[in-house]
């Protein structure tokens, strides 16, 4: 567990490089916002979370993997992540922030991801 990173993961770094190459500038991991979003666009009041499919229980093959050992502990831990994510998304929406969640498996299709980010952030940088 100690080696599992919460910041600067490979998927997050890929998204950060892509967003920067599109001309958008952002802040990282704003402590004052619920969930400490991975990318924060303050003037636009938008945030992006980059979630690992396994840890946040995405509906893809990697997210549906069930641990073989200590299954009850891991099921509770992963469900706790899902519950916390829901609370954080609700709190951000209540605060007037728009949220985009990018899943680890979505990084495979760079053109679709690029279009999704452009649509979310707006065409102008």
**How confident is the model over 60-100, as pLDDT tens digits?**
998 899 889 999 999 999 999 999 999 999 999 999 999 99
* Cα-based distances in Å from 66 to 70, 72, 78, 80, 100: 10, 10, 10, 15, 26
Per-residue confidence band for 38, with pLDDT thresholds at 50, 70 and 90? very high
pTM above 0.85, yes or no: yes
CB 110 within 8 A of CB 18: yes
The predicted structure's pLDDT at residue 7? 78
* pLDDT above 60 for 54: yes
| Structure confidence at residue 5 (pLDDT) | 65
What residues contact 107, with CB distance under 8 A and at least 6 apart?
11, 14, 15, 113
Q: In sequence order, which ranges of the chain are alpha helices (DSSP H)?
A: 10-21, 71-94, 110-121
Confidence bin at 4 (pLDDT 50/70/90): low
For the chain, domains (ranges, CATH) are: 10-121 (3.40.960.10)
Query: What pLDDT, on the 0 to 100 scale, is given for residue 125?
Result: 47
Q: Which two tokens stand for residue 86?
A: 């829901």
Task: Find the mean pLDDT for residues 110-116.
Answer: 96
1 pLDDT above the threshold of 60? no
Tell me what the mean pLDDT of segment 23-30 comes to. 94
CB 49 within 8 A of CB 101: yes
Please give the average per-residue pLDDT across 113-121, as a whole number: 96
The encoded tokens of residue 73 equal: 């502990």
């Amino acid at each position: 567990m100690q080696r599992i990173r919460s910041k600067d993961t490979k998927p997050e770094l890929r998204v950060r490089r892509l967003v920067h190459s599109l001309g958008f500038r952002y802040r990282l991991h704003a402590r004052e916002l619920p969930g400490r979003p991975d990318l924060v666009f303050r003037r636009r009041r938008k945030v992006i979370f980059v979630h690992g499919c396994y840890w946040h229980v995405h509906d893809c093959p990697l997210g549906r993997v069930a641990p073989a050992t200590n299954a009850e502990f891991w099921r509770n831990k992963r469900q706790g992540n899902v519950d916390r994510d829901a609370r954080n998304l609700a709190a951000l929406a209540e605060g007037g922030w728009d949220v985009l969640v990018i899943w680890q498996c979505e990084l495979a299709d760079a053109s679709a991801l690029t279009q999704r980010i452009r649509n979310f952030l707006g065409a102008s940088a």
